[in-house]
């Protein structure tokens, strides 16, 4: 399967799943970076109170979501990562990139 199709399928799945869990779906954003032809990085940015819900007790919910996403991508020999951040954490990350303190290794596909 083509990388773009795999990315779209996983993105659709993550959007669906996230909306089932969060209390503030209007604040949820899914950011996608294809770092190369075999790696996709997803960043789910949500309200601070929704971060805990998505991560779950002892990280169980986030682990389950990651396992499903990784299994789906592995069929196409693609590696994926999923990070869950609050808007505040994401803003700090963007500020650090702009200040040159960290390097963003991909491009956004919003």
- What would the mean pLDDT of 53-76 be, rounded to a whole number? 92
Burial class (CB in 10 A: 0-12, 13-18, 19+), 98: exposed
43 lies in a domain? yes
Q: Which residues form the domain of 69? A: 3-98
pLDDT of residue 46: 95
> Does 8 reside within a domain?
yes
95 CB-near residues (< 8 Å, 6+ apart)? none
- Read off the pLDDT band of 59 (50, 70, 90): very high
Question: Does residue 55 sit within a domain?
Answer: yes
Number of domains in the chain: 1
pLDDT digits (tens, 9 = 90+) for 80-95: 999 999 999 999 988 9
- The pLDDT value recorded for residue 106 is 52
Residue 108 counted as domain residue: no
Whether 106 maps to a domain, the answer reads: no
pLDDT in tens, 9-42: 999 999 998 889 899 999 999 999 988 889 999 9
Note whether residue 88 is domain-resident. Answer: yes
Report the 10 Å Cβ neighbour count for 56. 14
- Asked whether residue 49 is assigned to any structural domain, the reply reads yes
Is 103 contained in some domain? Answer: no
The enclosing domain of 93 has a CATH number of 3.30.300.20
């Amino acid at each position: 399967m083509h990388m773009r199709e795999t990315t779209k399928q996983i993105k659709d799945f993550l959007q669906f799943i996230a909306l089932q869990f969060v209390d503030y779906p209007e604040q949820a954003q899914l950011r996608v970076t294809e770092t190369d032809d075999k790696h996709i990085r997803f960043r789910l940015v949500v309200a601070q109170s929704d971060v805990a819900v998505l991560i779950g007790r002892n990280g169980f919910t986030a682990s389950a979501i990651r396992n499903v996403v990784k299994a789906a991508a592995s069929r196409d020999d693609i590696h994926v990562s999923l990070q869950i951040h609050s808007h505040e954490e994401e803003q700090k990350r963007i500020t650090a990139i702009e200040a040159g303190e960290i390097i963003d290794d991909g491009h956004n596909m919003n």
